Homo-oligomer: A and B are copies of this chain.
């Protein structure tokens, strides 16, 4: 979906289109990846827009409520925000090394269908993180935190 198209939709819903809102949206459209609020804010400032970070939080919240972007916890401390555009994608996050990789949305289709059919629940699975251990860390430190294994220290 193009910028002006989204803008028009939001305007049609009765919202006011301000410069902070327009530019925030533009940044997310161009990003092609997820960004923290802080990162979005930094880019806004870099573009010469003297906007407050609280406003950026409010704008992101608003875009989320309007189904334009998704909010995700990737274990980075701060949540990330990303455009909901097709094709959807999700992430694998390694609990050991922190590496984040991308996975296809197709894996989630079965679970979406079953949740709809069996529970009559409409799932919003737009940008997810699956935590676990990546291939590399599996070979490096086999099942270090597996229950039943023998670890060594509290940290």
Q: Residues of A with Cβ closer than 8 Å to B?
A: 9, 12-15, 62, 65-68, 73, 84, 92, 94-95, 101, 103, 107-108, 110-111, 114-115, 118-125, 130-135, 138, 145-148, 150-154
Contacts and interface: CB of A to CB of B under 8 A. Distances in A.
A101 B130 contact: no
Contacts of A124: 95, 131-133
Contact of A138 (B122, B145, B148, B152): B122
B132 A123 contact: yes
Contact of A154 (B15, B131, B146): B15
Nearest to A146: B67
A103 B115 contact: yes
B103 A107 contact: no
Contacts of A153: 14
Contacts of A65: 145, 151, 154
**Closest 3 CB pairs between A and B?**
A67-B147, A120-B135, A123-B132
A147 B65 CA distance: 9
Contacts of A115: 92, 103, 107, 130, 132
